[in-house]
Amino acid sequence: MIRDLAQQAPAAGQVSAGRIIPNLGAVTAAGDLERMLGALFTVTLIVAVAVLVICATTWAITSSSGHWQTAARARVGVWVALGGAAAAGGGLAWMDFLLDLGADL
Q: What is the pTM of this model?
A: 0.62
Closest C-alpha among 79, 81, 92 to residue 41:
92
Which residues have C-beta within 8 Å of that of residue 85, sequence separation ≥ 6? 45, 48, 49, 52
Contact 79, 52 (CB under 8 A): no
Q: Would you give per-residue pLDDT tens digits along the chain (105 residues)? A: 555 555 555 555 555 556 666 665 665 665 676 677 778 888 888 999 999 999 999 999 999 999 999 999 999 999 999 998 888 888 777 766 776 676 665
